[in-house]
Structure 1
Amino acid sequence: MVSASAAPAAAQAGSPAGHSQPPDSPDGQRMVQRLADLLDRQVECFGLRVLFLPTYCSASEADDQLARTVVARMRRGADAAVVRIDDAALLKACAGRCRAFLGGRMHPLILAAGMGVPLVGLSYNPKFAGFAELIGMGDRIVDVRSLVHGDGLERLDHLLDAALRGGPVDPGPVDRCRAMVEDGVRRLFAGL
Protein backbone atom coordinates (compact mmCIF):
# COMPACT_ATOMS: atom_id res chain seq x y z
CA MET A 1 0.00 0.00 0.00
CA VAL A 2 1.54 3.22 -1.02
CA SER A 3 0.23 6.58 -0.02
CA ALA A 4 0.48 9.42 -2.48
CA SER A 5 0.46 12.04 0.27
CA ALA A 6 1.49 10.29 3.48
CA ALA A 7 4.07 7.65 4.24
CA PRO A 8 3.32 4.53 2.21
CA ALA A 9 2.18 1.06 3.19
CA ALA A 10 2.09 -2.05 0.91
CA ALA A 11 0.04 -5.01 -0.22
CA GLN A 12 1.67 -7.65 -2.32
CA ALA A 13 -0.59 -9.90 -4.31
CA GLY A 14 0.33 -13.50 -4.13
CA SER A 15 -1.57 -16.53 -5.19
CA PRO A 16 -3.24 -16.68 -1.82
CA ALA A 17 -5.58 -19.24 -3.27
CA GLY A 18 -2.75 -21.57 -2.39
CA HIS A 19 -5.19 -24.35 -1.93
CA SER A 20 -5.46 -24.23 -5.76
CA GLN A 21 -8.72 -22.35 -6.01
CA PRO A 22 -8.80 -20.06 -9.05
CA PRO A 23 -10.10 -16.53 -8.47
CA ASP A 24 -13.31 -17.30 -10.37
CA SER A 25 -14.20 -20.33 -8.18
CA PRO A 26 -16.58 -19.78 -5.25
CA ASP A 27 -13.67 -19.91 -2.76
CA GLY A 28 -11.57 -17.67 -5.00
CA GLN A 29 -14.40 -15.12 -5.23
CA ARG A 30 -14.85 -15.17 -1.47
CA MET A 31 -11.12 -14.59 -0.98
CA VAL A 32 -11.06 -11.75 -3.53
CA GLN A 33 -14.05 -10.02 -1.92
CA ARG A 34 -12.62 -10.39 1.58
CA LEU A 35 -9.28 -8.92 0.49
CA ALA A 36 -11.08 -6.07 -1.30
CA ASP A 37 -13.15 -5.31 1.81
CA LEU A 38 -10.08 -5.44 4.05
CA LEU A 39 -8.10 -3.09 1.84
CA ASP A 40 -11.05 -0.70 1.47
CA ARG A 41 -11.22 -0.43 5.26
CA GLN A 42 -7.49 0.19 5.52
CA VAL A 43 -7.69 2.92 2.86
CA GLU A 44 -10.56 4.57 4.73
CA CYS A 45 -8.97 4.29 8.18
CA PHE A 46 -5.42 5.28 7.26
CA GLY A 47 -5.79 7.34 4.08
CA LEU A 48 -3.54 4.90 2.23
CA ARG A 49 -2.94 4.07 -1.36
CA VAL A 50 -2.64 0.36 -2.01
CA LEU A 51 0.19 -0.82 -4.22
CA PHE A 52 0.04 -4.39 -5.46
CA LEU A 53 3.45 -5.72 -6.46
CA PRO A 54 2.69 -9.01 -8.20
CA THR A 55 5.80 -11.10 -8.72
CA TYR A 56 4.52 -14.28 -10.36
CA CYS A 57 2.77 -13.12 -13.51
CA SER A 58 2.93 -16.14 -15.80
CA ALA A 59 -0.39 -17.52 -17.02
CA SER A 60 -0.14 -20.42 -14.56
CA GLU A 61 0.41 -18.14 -11.53
CA ALA A 62 -1.34 -14.92 -12.65
CA ASP A 63 -0.65 -12.81 -9.55
CA ASP A 64 -1.13 -9.69 -11.66
CA GLN A 65 -4.59 -10.83 -12.75
CA LEU A 66 -5.51 -11.66 -9.14
CA ALA A 67 -4.36 -8.19 -8.06
CA ARG A 68 -6.41 -6.52 -10.80
CA THR A 69 -9.43 -8.58 -9.77
CA VAL A 70 -9.09 -7.44 -6.13
CA VAL A 71 -8.72 -3.80 -7.23
CA ALA A 72 -11.82 -4.11 -9.43
CA ARG A 73 -13.81 -5.38 -6.42
CA MET A 74 -12.61 -2.60 -4.09
CA ARG A 75 -14.99 0.30 -3.50
CA ARG A 76 -11.83 2.41 -3.20
CA GLY A 77 -10.16 0.90 -6.27
CA ALA A 78 -9.12 4.38 -7.38
CA ASP A 79 -6.79 4.33 -4.37
CA ALA A 80 -5.03 1.18 -5.59
CA ALA A 81 -2.57 0.36 -8.34
CA VAL A 82 -1.03 -2.81 -9.75
CA VAL A 83 2.64 -2.42 -10.70
CA ARG A 84 4.70 -5.25 -12.13
CA ILE A 85 8.35 -4.96 -11.16
CA ASP A 86 10.72 -7.59 -12.49
CA ASP A 87 13.86 -6.19 -10.85
CA ALA A 88 14.38 -7.53 -7.31
CA ALA A 89 16.42 -4.49 -6.23
CA LEU A 90 13.66 -2.13 -7.36
CA LEU A 91 11.00 -4.28 -5.69
CA LYS A 92 13.01 -4.20 -2.46
CA ALA A 93 13.42 -0.42 -2.71
CA CYS A 94 9.68 0.04 -3.27
CA ALA A 95 8.91 -2.21 -0.29
CA GLY A 96 11.24 -0.09 1.82
CA ARG A 97 9.09 2.98 1.13
CA CYS A 98 6.01 1.28 2.55
CA ARG A 99 4.42 1.71 5.96
CA ALA A 100 3.42 -1.96 6.05
CA PHE A 101 3.65 -4.94 3.74
CA LEU A 102 0.92 -7.56 3.35
CA GLY A 103 2.56 -10.40 1.49
CA GLY A 104 1.08 -13.45 -0.16
CA ARG A 105 4.39 -14.56 -1.63
CA MET A 106 7.53 -15.54 0.23
CA HIS A 107 10.25 -13.74 -1.75
CA PRO A 108 8.66 -10.27 -1.59
CA LEU A 109 8.17 -10.79 2.16
CA ILE A 110 11.87 -11.58 2.47
CA LEU A 111 12.78 -8.42 0.54
CA ALA A 112 10.43 -6.28 2.65
CA ALA A 113 11.80 -7.81 5.86
CA GLY A 114 15.28 -6.75 4.79
CA MET A 115 14.03 -3.17 4.54
CA GLY A 116 12.63 -3.11 8.08
CA VAL A 117 9.01 -2.80 6.98
CA PRO A 118 6.27 -4.12 9.31
CA LEU A 119 5.09 -7.36 7.75
CA VAL A 120 1.90 -9.37 7.68
CA GLY A 121 1.87 -12.63 5.75
CA LEU A 122 -1.01 -14.34 4.00
CA SER A 123 0.23 -17.92 3.95
CA TYR A 124 -0.69 -20.45 1.31
CA ASN A 125 2.20 -22.79 2.10
CA PRO A 126 3.73 -24.16 5.33
CA LYS A 127 7.12 -22.59 4.48
CA PHE A 128 5.73 -19.23 5.63
CA ALA A 129 5.67 -20.43 9.24
CA GLY A 130 9.37 -21.33 9.31
CA PHE A 131 10.44 -18.03 7.77
CA ALA A 132 8.09 -16.08 10.02
CA GLU A 133 9.45 -17.75 13.15
CA LEU A 134 13.02 -17.17 12.01
CA ILE A 135 12.50 -13.40 11.76
CA GLY A 136 10.29 -13.08 14.84
CA MET A 137 6.93 -12.60 13.12
CA GLY A 138 5.40 -16.03 13.63
CA ASP A 139 2.32 -14.43 15.13
CA ARG A 140 1.77 -12.24 12.04
CA ILE A 141 0.85 -14.95 9.56
CA VAL A 142 -2.71 -15.81 8.53
CA ASP A 143 -3.42 -18.97 6.57
CA VAL A 144 -5.43 -18.23 3.43
CA ARG A 145 -7.84 -21.06 4.25
CA SER A 146 -8.90 -19.21 7.40
CA LEU A 147 -9.37 -16.05 5.33
CA VAL A 148 -11.73 -17.94 3.04
CA HIS A 149 -13.44 -20.26 5.53
CA GLY A 150 -12.86 -18.94 9.04
CA ASP A 151 -11.99 -15.92 11.14
CA GLY A 152 -8.90 -15.02 9.13
CA LEU A 153 -10.36 -11.76 7.83
CA GLU A 154 -10.72 -10.32 11.33
CA ARG A 155 -7.26 -11.52 12.29
CA LEU A 156 -5.69 -10.16 9.09
CA ASP A 157 -7.43 -6.82 9.64
CA HIS A 158 -6.16 -6.65 13.24
CA LEU A 159 -2.60 -7.55 12.22
CA LEU A 160 -2.54 -4.99 9.41
CA ASP A 161 -3.93 -2.32 11.76
CA ALA A 162 -1.19 -3.14 14.26
CA ALA A 163 1.49 -3.02 11.54
CA LEU A 164 0.27 0.40 10.39
CA ARG A 165 -0.10 1.83 13.89
CA GLY A 166 3.04 0.30 15.36
CA GLY A 167 6.41 1.85 15.72
CA PRO A 168 9.66 0.85 14.08
CA VAL A 169 10.37 -2.82 13.57
CA ASP A 170 12.99 -4.41 15.82
CA PRO A 171 15.80 -5.24 13.37
CA GLY A 172 17.33 -7.85 15.70
CA PRO A 173 15.60 -10.99 14.35
CA VAL A 174 16.20 -10.06 10.70
CA ASP A 175 19.82 -9.15 11.45
CA ARG A 176 20.34 -12.52 13.19
CA CYS A 177 18.77 -14.31 10.22
CA ARG A 178 20.98 -12.36 7.80
CA ALA A 179 24.08 -13.24 9.86
CA MET A 180 23.13 -16.93 9.86
CA VAL A 181 22.74 -16.91 6.08
CA GLU A 182 26.03 -15.08 5.57
CA ASP A 183 27.81 -17.50 7.90
CA GLY A 184 26.29 -20.47 6.10
CA VAL A 185 27.37 -19.13 2.70
CA ARG A 186 30.91 -18.47 4.01
CA ARG A 187 31.16 -22.02 5.36
CA LEU A 188 29.77 -23.45 2.13
CA PHE A 189 32.36 -21.67 0.00
CA ALA A 190 35.15 -22.41 2.49
CA GLY A 191 34.55 -26.09 1.85
CA LEU A 192 35.03 -25.79 -1.92
Structure 2
Amino acid sequence: MSSGTPTSSASPSESSYDRTRMRQWARGRARSAGIDRRDLLKLVAAASAAAPLIPAAASPAHAAQSLAGVVKPLPPELFTVRGTNAETNFSALRDTGLLTPADRFFVRNHTATPVVDATDWTLTVWGDGLAGGPVDFSYEALRALPAVSRTAFVECAGNGRSFFTSQQGQQVGGTAWTLGAIGTARWRG
Protein backbone atom coordinates (compact mmCIF):
# COMPACT_ATOMS: atom_id res chain seq x y z
CA MET A 1 0.00 0.00 0.00
CA SER A 2 2.90 2.30 -0.61
CA SER A 3 0.91 4.18 -3.24
CA GLY A 4 -1.63 5.21 -0.62
CA THR A 5 -4.38 3.49 -2.58
CA PRO A 6 -6.16 0.74 -0.68
CA THR A 7 -6.09 -2.67 -2.28
CA SER A 8 -9.29 -4.64 -2.54
CA SER A 9 -9.62 -8.15 -1.16
CA ALA A 10 -13.26 -8.32 -2.20
CA SER A 11 -14.33 -11.26 -4.30
CA PRO A 12 -15.35 -10.58 -7.92
CA SER A 13 -19.02 -10.99 -6.99
CA GLU A 14 -18.76 -8.53 -4.10
CA SER A 15 -16.84 -6.02 -6.23
CA SER A 16 -19.43 -6.36 -8.98
CA TYR A 17 -22.22 -5.83 -6.46
CA ASP A 18 -20.47 -2.73 -5.08
CA ARG A 19 -20.12 -1.22 -8.55
CA THR A 20 -23.75 -1.98 -9.43
CA ARG A 21 -25.04 -0.42 -6.19
CA MET A 22 -22.86 2.66 -6.69
CA ARG A 23 -24.31 3.16 -10.19
CA GLN A 24 -27.83 2.73 -8.79
CA TRP A 25 -27.24 5.31 -6.06
CA ALA A 26 -25.65 7.75 -8.52
CA ARG A 27 -28.69 7.49 -10.81
CA GLY A 28 -31.20 7.74 -7.95
CA ARG A 29 -32.43 4.21 -8.59
CA ALA A 30 -31.29 2.44 -5.42
CA ARG A 31 -34.08 1.03 -3.34
CA SER A 32 -34.17 -0.32 0.18
CA ALA A 33 -35.65 -3.73 -0.56
CA GLY A 34 -37.13 -5.36 2.49
CA ILE A 35 -36.69 -2.41 4.85
CA ASP A 36 -39.85 -1.12 6.46
CA ARG A 37 -40.47 2.63 5.91
CA ARG A 38 -40.40 3.38 9.64
CA ASP A 39 -37.18 1.42 10.12
CA LEU A 40 -35.59 3.25 7.18
CA LEU A 41 -36.53 6.62 8.68
CA LYS A 42 -35.16 5.55 12.05
CA LEU A 43 -31.87 4.50 10.43
CA VAL A 44 -31.55 7.76 8.50
CA ALA A 45 -32.32 9.80 11.59
CA ALA A 46 -29.82 7.78 13.64
CA ALA A 47 -27.12 8.31 11.03
CA SER A 48 -27.86 12.04 10.94
CA ALA A 49 -27.65 12.31 14.71
CA ALA A 50 -24.47 10.19 14.86
CA ALA A 51 -22.56 12.16 12.22
CA PRO A 52 -21.29 14.80 14.69
CA LEU A 53 -19.90 12.01 16.90
CA ILE A 54 -17.35 10.94 14.28
CA PRO A 55 -13.99 12.51 15.13
CA ALA A 56 -12.80 15.11 12.62
CA ALA A 57 -9.18 13.97 12.70
CA ALA A 58 -7.09 11.10 13.99
CA SER A 59 -4.74 11.48 16.90
CA PRO A 60 -1.72 13.53 15.82
CA ALA A 61 0.56 10.92 17.40
CA HIS A 62 -0.50 8.23 14.91
CA ALA A 63 -1.04 8.55 11.17
CA ALA A 64 -4.46 7.29 10.18
CA GLN A 65 -5.05 4.91 7.32
CA SER A 66 -7.71 5.94 4.85
CA LEU A 67 -10.15 4.26 2.54
CA ALA A 68 -11.65 5.91 -0.50
CA GLY A 69 -15.10 7.21 0.38
CA VAL A 70 -14.73 6.76 4.16
CA VAL A 71 -14.61 9.98 6.19
CA LYS A 72 -13.77 8.34 9.52
CA PRO A 73 -10.07 8.22 10.53
CA LEU A 74 -8.70 4.67 10.70
CA PRO A 75 -5.57 4.71 12.89
CA PRO A 76 -3.67 1.39 12.58
CA GLU A 77 -3.68 0.84 16.35
CA LEU A 78 -7.49 0.72 16.20
CA PHE A 79 -8.24 -0.87 12.81
CA THR A 80 -7.10 -3.44 10.28
CA VAL A 81 -8.08 -2.34 6.79
CA ARG A 82 -9.60 -5.18 4.78
CA GLY A 83 -10.27 -4.04 1.23
CA THR A 84 -12.97 -1.37 1.45
CA ASN A 85 -13.68 -2.19 5.11
CA ALA A 86 -12.00 -1.62 8.46
CA GLU A 87 -12.06 -4.23 11.20
CA THR A 88 -11.75 -3.14 14.83
CA ASN A 89 -8.68 -4.59 16.55
CA PHE A 90 -9.63 -6.33 19.80
CA SER A 91 -6.80 -4.60 21.65
CA ALA A 92 -8.47 -1.25 20.80
CA LEU A 93 -11.51 -2.29 22.86
CA ARG A 94 -9.57 -2.85 26.07
CA ASP A 95 -11.08 -0.79 28.90
CA THR A 96 -13.90 0.66 26.77
CA GLY A 97 -16.72 -0.99 28.69
CA LEU A 98 -19.83 -2.55 27.16
CA LEU A 99 -20.36 0.15 24.52
CA THR A 100 -18.06 0.51 21.52
CA PRO A 101 -16.84 4.10 21.16
CA ALA A 102 -17.74 5.71 17.81
CA ASP A 103 -14.07 6.12 16.89
CA ARG A 104 -13.57 2.34 17.28
CA PHE A 105 -16.69 1.04 15.55
CA PHE A 106 -15.93 -1.21 12.56
CA VAL A 107 -16.56 0.07 9.03
CA ARG A 108 -18.55 -2.08 6.60
CA ASN A 109 -18.47 -0.17 3.38
CA HIS A 110 -20.33 -0.99 0.15
CA THR A 111 -20.30 2.57 -1.19
CA ALA A 112 -18.70 5.95 -0.58
CA THR A 113 -19.91 8.01 2.38
CA PRO A 114 -22.08 10.74 0.90
CA VAL A 115 -21.08 14.33 1.61
CA VAL A 116 -24.27 16.38 1.64
CA ASP A 117 -25.21 20.01 2.06
CA ALA A 118 -27.94 19.96 4.74
CA THR A 119 -29.56 23.10 3.33
CA ASP A 120 -30.69 21.48 0.07
CA TRP A 121 -30.39 17.73 0.72
CA THR A 122 -33.57 15.62 0.56
CA LEU A 123 -34.43 12.01 1.17
CA THR A 124 -37.08 10.47 -1.05
CA VAL A 125 -38.84 7.42 0.39
CA TRP A 126 -40.91 5.21 -1.90
CA GLY A 127 -42.21 1.68 -1.98
CA ASP A 128 -45.24 -0.60 -1.99
CA GLY A 129 -46.04 0.10 1.67
CA LEU A 130 -46.40 3.84 1.10
CA ALA A 131 -49.88 5.20 0.39
CA GLY A 132 -49.97 8.24 -1.89
CA GLY A 133 -46.64 7.81 -3.64
CA PRO A 134 -43.10 8.94 -2.76
CA VAL A 135 -42.47 11.28 0.18
CA ASP A 136 -39.59 13.79 0.35
CA PHE A 137 -37.91 14.75 3.63
CA SER A 138 -35.45 17.59 4.10
CA TYR A 139 -32.60 17.19 6.56
CA GLU A 140 -34.39 19.67 8.84
CA ALA A 141 -37.66 17.67 8.62
CA LEU A 142 -35.86 14.44 9.57
CA ARG A 143 -34.20 16.13 12.54
CA ALA A 144 -37.64 17.43 13.65
CA LEU A 145 -39.08 13.90 13.93
CA PRO A 146 -39.39 12.45 17.44
CA ALA A 147 -36.15 10.81 18.56
CA VAL A 148 -35.66 7.57 20.45
CA SER A 149 -32.49 5.90 21.75
CA ARG A 150 -31.73 2.20 21.69
CA THR A 151 -28.73 0.15 22.70
CA ALA A 152 -28.07 -2.38 19.97
CA PHE A 153 -25.41 -4.89 18.97
CA VAL A 154 -24.36 -4.72 15.30
CA GLU A 155 -22.45 -7.52 13.60
CA CYS A 156 -21.53 -7.89 9.95
CA ALA A 157 -22.97 -11.15 8.59
CA GLY A 158 -19.45 -12.05 7.41
CA ASN A 159 -17.84 -11.66 10.85
CA GLY A 160 -15.44 -14.59 11.33
CA ARG A 161 -15.47 -15.42 7.60
CA SER A 162 -11.70 -15.96 7.50
CA PHE A 163 -12.10 -18.96 9.81
CA PHE A 164 -13.95 -20.94 7.13
CA THR A 165 -10.56 -21.35 5.44
CA SER A 166 -8.40 -21.90 8.52
CA GLN A 167 -10.85 -24.08 10.50
CA GLN A 168 -13.24 -25.61 7.97
CA GLY A 169 -10.88 -25.91 5.00
CA GLN A 170 -13.37 -24.09 2.79
CA GLN A 171 -12.42 -21.15 0.58
CA VAL A 172 -15.09 -18.43 0.74
CA GLY A 173 -15.48 -15.10 -1.03
CA GLY A 174 -15.92 -11.68 0.52
CA THR A 175 -14.06 -9.76 3.18
CA ALA A 176 -11.79 -11.99 5.30
CA TRP A 177 -13.02 -10.67 8.67
CA THR A 178 -11.62 -12.24 11.81
CA LEU A 179 -13.82 -11.31 14.80
CA GLY A 180 -13.73 -7.49 14.81
CA ALA A 181 -16.78 -6.73 12.65
CA ILE A 182 -18.93 -6.24 15.76
CA GLY A 183 -19.91 -3.43 18.07
CA THR A 184 -22.48 -2.32 20.62
CA ALA A 185 -23.61 1.29 20.77
CA ARG A 186 -26.34 3.57 22.03
CA TRP A 187 -28.06 4.73 18.83
CA ARG A 188 -30.29 7.80 18.69
CA GLY A 189 -32.57 8.71 15.87
TM-score over 0.5 for the pair: no
Greater C-alpha radius of gyration? 2
Judging by fraction of residues, say which structure has more strand: 2
TM range (shorter): under 0.3
- TM-score (norm. length: structure 2): 0.27
- TM-score (norm. length: structure 1): 0.26
Q: Which has the bigger relative contact order, CA under 8 A and spacing at least 6?
A: 2
Judging by fraction of residues, say which structure has more helix: 1
